[in-house]
Structure 1
Amino acid sequence: MLRPLVLLILLQFIGEALARLGGIPIPGPVIGLALLALAAGMVPRLFSEVEATADTILRHLSLLFVPAGVGVLQHLGLIRREALPIVAVLLLSTLLTLLATALTFAWLARDEDAPRGSDEP
């Protein structure tokens, strides 16, 4: 379990370094995950090596929310002062997401109803 864990942390570190040094606006862990996917594509046994460790990490993922909860409690005064803008942005972003999803679904459904060619009866 140690070797796959070191590999995962190393890939995350490389991703973080690429993001910071290269000025890439993508989070380092996302870049590290892409690197893991590329590596697993080239070395198929890598997936089976990392799978058990990744499953263990995912089972304990809720522990990663503890620091975020502490941060929220630590800045509760600021959150109270800025509650109206926070709620407004949350509502607006939710509405925009729903609108974008509905428009995308309507566009895809319209495309699905279009005739495909001469093989249609």
Structure 2
Amino acid sequence: MLYWITMLLLCQWLGELAATASGLPVPGPVIGMILLLAFLLWRGEEPPDLARVADGLLNHLALLFVPAGVGVVAHLALLQAQWQPIAAALLVSTVATVLVTGWVMQRLMRKRD
């Protein structure tokens, strides 16, 4: 199990390294997840120990939102000053997500039938 925790951290570290070195506007953890996906596709199966590690992380996912909540409280004055653009961005992105998800679902349902 320690091996897979190390692999997850290594993928994230390599992703951060690649994001910093390339200057791409993509977060390092996203690149790390892509690296992990490539590794798992190459391997051809999901190792049971990796599944247990991932389940353990997902069970405690709420703890990972604590730093984000602290960041919101730390920048409360900025959020109060810029609430209109933030609200507009949240509204537009939510509507766009719902529309795109519905469109993709319709396309996939047509292909299935």
- TM-score w.r.t. length of structure 1: 0.74
Output the CA distance in 2 between the equivalents of 1:105 and 1:43. 29
Pair 107,80 (structure 1): closer, same or farther in 2 beyond 3 Å? same
CA-based RMSD: 2.7
Moved more, 68-77 or 79-88: 79-88
Alignment of 1:1-121 (within 5 A): 1-44=1-44, 47-101=47-101, 104=103, 108=107, 112=110
Secondary structure at 1:24's aligned position in 2?
coil
**Residue matched to 1:119:** none
Q: Can you list the C-alpha shifts for 1:39-87, whole angstroms capped at 9, x where unaligned? A: 2223346632311111101111100100011111111111111112211
| Pairs aligned (count) | 111
Percent identity, aligned pairs only, is 42
- Unaligned 5+ runs, structure 1: 114-121
Point out the structure with max Rg over C-alpha.
1
Aligned partners of 2:12 and 2:82: how far apart in 1? 34
Alignment CA distance shift 1:46-1:98 (3 Å): closer
Deviation at 1:100, TM superposition (A): 4.2
- Work out the CA distance in 2 between the residues paired with 1:98 and 1:58: 24
Q: Normalising by the residue count of structure 2, what TM-score does the alignment of the two structures yield? A: 0.78
Ranked by relative contact order (alpha carbons within 8 Å, sequence separation 6 or more), the top structure is 2
Per-residue deviation, 1:24: 2.7
